[in-house]
């Protein structure tokens, strides 16, 4: 983890929960959990509200197929942490309908929508609606929501340097599947929470509605993808387009420029969410939604 606040900066309730679960499982809490529980009112609560129904709610796609779609998003972002995690979850959540090691064996609709999602999320590409001409519209929207979640998370995993440690793959994936990507409500409470009528719209406003240490105008610009001052401009652009290229040196440079870890955290989440929502909106527009 590249930010110490994500390891040691949690509220007391989260620290107690993390300590208790680590003791029971005899495995350290995964980096993704540490990140989601740090200041959850700043984006991640809204992200989790979207994730649970997208990954385990009613859908045209099985749970295993949705994990397979998530694995494809991870490959696009070159995120080793998420590729391995979702390959394992595809096996756990599925019933043999899709094999993460044999993509050609997936049903044609799944292969088609995965190819479409690649055109949605790949920087510089244009969504190709012709790829999903034979896929029901509701199924495409389900897939776009899955892709939206992991377009955010993969960028965060790459930026913050998520790593899988001993025992985490098995214990973490089984816990995620067992609890359907849901966290106890008391861990996510606190701070203002506004309802914009839809889980995606709540995600869209979560960064700008939240209290933060950065200028709200900066956060709004990051969400929109409009110009921001340096050093944030170069850093945010890398988060959006090539998060896998970020290194410890990038974070050291931001600290050397006088920026706190909370500022880096807020800017990273805003840039990641803004890019993911932009891709989601392009995907919906391409299919006339």
Residue 224's SS3 state is helix
Each residue's pLDDT tens digit, 244-285 = 999 999 999 999 999 999 999 999 999 999 999 999 999 999
- Report d(CA 223, CA 221) in Å as an integer: 5
Both tokens assigned to 162: 């998520």
Q: Which of 66-70, 130-134, 208-212, 244-248 has the lowest mean pLDDT?
A: 208-212
Residue with tokens 């790829």: 131
Cα separation of 155 and 161, whole Å? 10
Give whole-number Cα distances, 221 to 215, 268, 269, in Å. Answer: 10, 13, 13
- Per residue in 20-76, pLDDT tens? 998 888 889 999 999 999 999 999 999 999 999 999 999 999 999 999 999 999 999
Joined together, the tokens standing for residue 172 give: 């973490």
pLDDT mean over 148-161: 98
pLDDT, residue 212, reads 95
Mean pLDDT of the chain: 95
Q: For residues 128 and 182, give the distance between their C-alpha atoms in angstroms, rounded to a whole number.
A: 33
Q: How sure is the predictor about 169, in pLDDT bands with cuts at 50, 70 and 90?
A: confident
Residues 159 and 2 sit within 8 Å (Cβ to Cβ): yes
* Residue 193, pLDDT score: 80
Is it the case that residue 135 has pLDDT exceeding 80? Answer: yes
- The dihedral through the CA atoms of 257, 263, 267, 268 has a sign that is positive
pLDDT (0 to 100) of residue 201: 96
* pLDDT of 289: 78
Burial string for 84-98 (b: 16+ CB within 10 Å, else e) reads bbbbbbbbbbbeebb
Task: Please report, rounded to a whole number, the percentage of residues in the chain having pLDDT higher than 70.
Answer: 100
Q: Which pTM does this prediction carry?
A: 0.96
CB 139 within 8 A of CB 55: no
Residue-level pLDDT at 125 = 87
User: What pLDDT sits at residue 174?
Assistant: 87
Identify the three-state secondary structure at position 125. Answer: coil
In this prediction, residue 190 carries a pLDDT of 84
Quickly list DSSP for 173-196: HHHHHHTTT---HHHH--S-----
Question: CA 95 to CA 281: how far, in whole Å?
Answer: 32
Per-residue pLDDT at 192 exceeds 80: no
Structure-block tokens of residue 123:
């920087």
What lies within 8 Å, CB to CB, of 230 at 6+ separation is: none
- For residue 184, what pLDDT is reported? 92
Question: Given a cut of 90, is residue 124 above it in pLDDT?
Answer: no
């Amino acid at each position: 983890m590249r930010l110490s606040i994500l390891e040691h900066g949690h509220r007391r309730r989260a620290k107690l929960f993390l300590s208790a679960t680590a003791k029971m499982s005899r495995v350290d809490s995964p980096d993704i959990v540490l990140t989601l529980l740090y200041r959850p009112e700043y984006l991640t609560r809204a992200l989790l509200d979207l994730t649970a129904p997208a990954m385990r709610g009613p859908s045209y796609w099985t749970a295993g197929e949705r994990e397979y779609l998530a694995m494809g998003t991870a490959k696009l972002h070159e995120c080793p942490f998420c590729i391995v995690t979702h390959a394992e979850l595809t096996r756990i959540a599925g019933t043999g309908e899709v094999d993460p090691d044999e993509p050609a064996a997936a049903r044609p609709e799944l292969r088609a929508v995965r190819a479409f999602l690649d055109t949605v999320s790949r920087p510089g590409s244009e969504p190709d609606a012709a790829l999903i001409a034979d896929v029901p519209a509701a199924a495409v929207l389900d897939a776009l929501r899955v892709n939206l979640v992991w377009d955010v998370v993969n960028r965060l995993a790459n930026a913050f340097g998520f790593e899988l440690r001993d025992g985490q793959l098995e214990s973490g994936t089984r816990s995620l599947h067992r609890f359907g990507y849901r966290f106890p409500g008391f861990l996510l409470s606190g701070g203002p929470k506004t309802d914009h009528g839809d889980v995606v719209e709540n995600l869209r406003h979560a960064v700008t509605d939240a209290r933060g240490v950065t200028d709200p105008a900066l956060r709004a610009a990051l969400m929109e993808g409009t110009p921001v001052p340096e050093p944030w401009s170069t850093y945010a652009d890398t988060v959006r387009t090539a998060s896998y290229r970020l290194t410890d040196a990038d974070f050291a440079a931001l600290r050397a420029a006088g920026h706190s870890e909370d500022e880096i955290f807020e800017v990273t989440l805003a840039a990641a969410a803004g890019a993911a929502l932009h891709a989601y909106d392009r995907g919906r527009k391409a299919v006339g939604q």
